[in-house]
Structure 1
Amino acid sequence: MLTYCTNIHPGHSWDEIVTKVWPQVLQVKEVVAPDAAFPVGLRISALAARQVTPAAARRFADCCADDGCFIPTINGFPHGQFYGTPVKEGAYLPDWRSPERVRYTLDLIRLLRLWLPPSLTGSISTLPIAYGRYMCRDDLGVVRKNLLTVLRELELSASAGKPVILALEPEPGCLLETARDVAHFLEAMAFPADLRRLIGICFDCCHAAVLHEEPRRAFSLLGEAGIAVTKIHLSSAVRFATNHLQAAALFGDDCYQHQTSVRSHAGTVHFPDLADAINDVPLLQGEWRIHYHLPIYDSGNALYGTTNDFIGEVLTWAPPQTLLEIETYTYANLPPKLRQGGVIESIAREFAWLGGKL
């Protein structure tokens, strides 16, 4: 199943999702799937999730059916405002130590329980616990308690015939960066077996490429650990090996966190943001990879490259039947020359490019 994530369309409140985001979704459907049922990866903020009354949720379900669409997955990673304002590390707050993260995720579960079509297993992607690589034992205890609350709600959904899996999404600079981190974390959490099956992973191609993760090894490890790969984000990172400062300046912005890795003969150095790499080591050579979601059809030019070939590796080794979701939320922040044609055309080109890969 192939979809795209609506976090590419600005929309923070429920009214904005209905009146601004959804019309663009239908424009995309008209281009890429005019005669077929169209899955939609819906991004809903905590504010929007609170605003949806039961009656409004049922109206939206009817609207989806009338429009030939359905909702198999929700992006529950960014809790708050995600558009038109500097986000940076705020994108990871509140994290899984906070009751606000629990309330937000419970709201999303209840919505997806209503919207999920029969016979499908849904998913809600979420942040990889917290930003930062370290957490004290007491904090991990709070995290476990909070996740158990959510997993018990997911158990109720499964019992009602609407199975939904919480999908941790590893990301550079976070507590969980890789598939191996997720496996170790879930082993340490020691959830009861009946709840453990309700938590899986959202594998993001851009994130994994920045960390030089090997897809074959990652998916093999996940399979051995019994961790469900519920969703794969089809995304592409920026990469370059020459003209470092000129290329880096092209993609610098104050909105999102652009974690950067620099690999050379001396090893790999990681920076929390692109600006840190530029300011701290302006002459550092080697291959730079930047957490910056480019349109997946973009293969780069003389100045910069991309990791879109990595998507092919991921598709080769990914478990069959995994939900595939194009995710290019940085579209509005792209250099102007890369935004020619508009967002609908760009999404359509991503579907077409991926069709060649599949």
Structure 2
Amino acid sequence: MRFLHPDGTTVHLGYCSNVHQAEDLQGVIAQLAEYAEPVRERLGAGRLGIGLWLARPVVTELADDEAALGRLKSELRARGLETVTLNAFPYTGFHREVVKKDVYLPDWADEARLKYTLDCARVLAALLPDDVGHGSVSTLPLAWRTPWTPACAEEARHALERLTTGLAALEAWTGRRIRVGFEPEPGCVVETTTQAVRELGGLDPDRLGICLDACHLAVQFEQPGEALRRLADAGMPVVKLQASCAVEAADPADPAARAALHRLAEPRFLHQTRTAADGEVLGVDDLPDALDGGLPADGGPWRVHFHAPLHSRPEPPLRTTADQLDQVFAGLLGGASADCDHIEVETYTWSVLPEPPADLPGGIAAELAWARDRLTGLGLKEDPS
């Protein structure tokens, strides 16, 4: 879906396809018919954005085979879908039985990460609608924090220089600008916007910036207004917003809250958990660690990196950080100018909810409707086409 900001900027809203299990081109095309087109129809929208996650084998095929790329573009167009952003954080195997920390491999000290990201940029430049001049690709915040040596940091810095050069060459060749956004995440080398400024400052803002995940921001107990000002003051653009909510337990000592949290402690994805007391953020790498005593239960609320559906509440007495997401929307789009034009609803956890939905397209459509209402409430006008 497209919206017009009062300053004239076209703002794109879509959802991320990493919620779907498909790691070959046939599977990617099938999910467009099975899920994305029905979501568009449920919304009554003439056009729906889909932020594609394309596993390494799919990107390789698309980058090497012009006919395959044309087929995907034709399928998107035929189903009323458009792609202006790719999620290039997971490399492959995102729906294995156990993913956990493997999602951070390869990292930015590995040549494979650079090659994959540039291939994603090439594919996206070809998939962009004819009337769209730029796209975005989101990626991991360098690496998981361990092991990360000075030598790794140096390799990553060289890789980012080559990434910038490669993106500039792609724009010169295609006329399409692709920007890459690094996504701060709890437990990684870059967890917070403060670390983003320190570790990623000085990069070319025309090519590289931040992918701001609102769930991650909330888990780290960052205040949205302060975080956005910090990035703006450092000249670091938010090239993409991942509209997402974390799960919060206001009283983690409450037996009902602990029982509900136990039902979220599933084996596939990593659910980093944080609490804040006396101005200090304490954390563990996974929810079971917190439940086993790794975090104090009497010092303040727990926030869990579990992407909760935007439009609904989790099992009581748990709640979500939707109010934080509202503040992010307002900070980026509620002012005189649009400070981000790519928004991706990224709830990839539907399949690991205690009660997975029988109607996934209906759930995704409800999330997008929730986000649409927030945007129009800020004065943006929906493009009905």
TM-score (norm 1): 0.92
CA contact (8 A) 2:313 2:319 kept: yes
Residues 108-138 of structure 1 show CA distances to partners (whole Å, capped at 9, x for unaligned) of: 1110111112443200000000011673322
Instruction: Look up the match of 2:171.
Output: 158
1:85 matched residue in structure 2: 97
4+ long deviations beyond 4 Å: none
Indicate the residue corresponding to 1:343 in structure 2: 360
Map Cα deviations across residues 260-296 of structure 1 (whole Å, 9 max, x no partner).
0023458431111111111234762221100000101
Q: Which digits, 9 at most, give the CA deviation of each residue in 1:51-81, with x for residues without a partner?
A: 2222100122222223222210000000010
Structure 1: how far apart are the matches of 2:116 and 2:97? Answer: 21
State the Cα distance separating 1:23 from its structure 2 match. Answer: 3.2
Partner of 2:229: 220
Match of 1:231 in 2: 240
Alignment CA distance shift 1:167-1:33 (3 Å) = farther
State the superposition RMSD in angstroms. 1.9
Deviation at 1:197, TM superposition (A): 2.1
Per mean C-alpha deviation after superposition, the further-off stretch among 46-55 and 266-275 is 266-275
3-state SS, counterpart of residue 125 of structure 1:
strand
Structure 1 residue 290 and structure 2 residue 309: aligned? no
- Number of positions where the alignment pairs a residue of Structure 1 with one of Structure 2: 350
Identify the residue that residue 183 of structure 2 maps to in structure 1: 169
1:148 to 161, 164, 171: 161
> 1:327 pairs with 321, 335, 346, which one?
346
Paired AA for residue 81 in structure 2: C
**Post-superposition CA distance 1:13-53 (Å, at most 9, x none):** 2221112345311111111244x232211111112111222
Q: Verify the 8 A CA contact 2:14 2:48 in the aligned structure 1.
A: yes
Q: 2:119 aligns with which of 98, 107, 125?
A: 107
Unmatched 5+ residue regions in structure 2? 1-11, 376-385
State the Cα distance separating 1:84 from its structure 2 match. 4.0
Asked if 1:3 is matched to 2:14, the reply is yes
CA 1:204–1:144: 2 relative to 1, 3 Å: same
1:65/1:288 CA distance change after superposition, 3 Å: same
SS at match of 2:290: helix
> Residue by residue, what CA displacement relative to the aligned partner does 1:114-170 show, whole Å, maximum 9, x if unpaired?
111244320000000001167332211110111222221210222231100011000
Change beyond 3 A, Cα 1:341–1:349: farther
Amino acid at match of 2:372: G
Residue 23 of structure 1 pairs with residue 31 of structure 2? no
1:285-320 deviations in whole A, cap 9, x for unaligned?
221100000101123353311111111111111151
Matching residue of 2:214: 205
Sequence identity of aligned pairs in percent?
A: 30
- C-alpha contact (below 8 Å) 1:197/1:227 kept by paired residues: no
Give the partner amino acid of 1:60.
Answer: L
Q: Which has the higher contact order (CA 8 A, sep 6+)?
A: 2
User: Could you tell me which residue of structure 1 aligns to residue 324 of structure 2?
Assistant: 310
- For the pair 1:56 / 2:73, whether they are aligned, the reply is no
How far apart, in 2, do the equivalents of 1:119 and 1:295 lie? 29
2:47 matches 1:42: no
- Find the aligned partners of 1:222 and 1:133 in 2 and give their Cα distance: 25
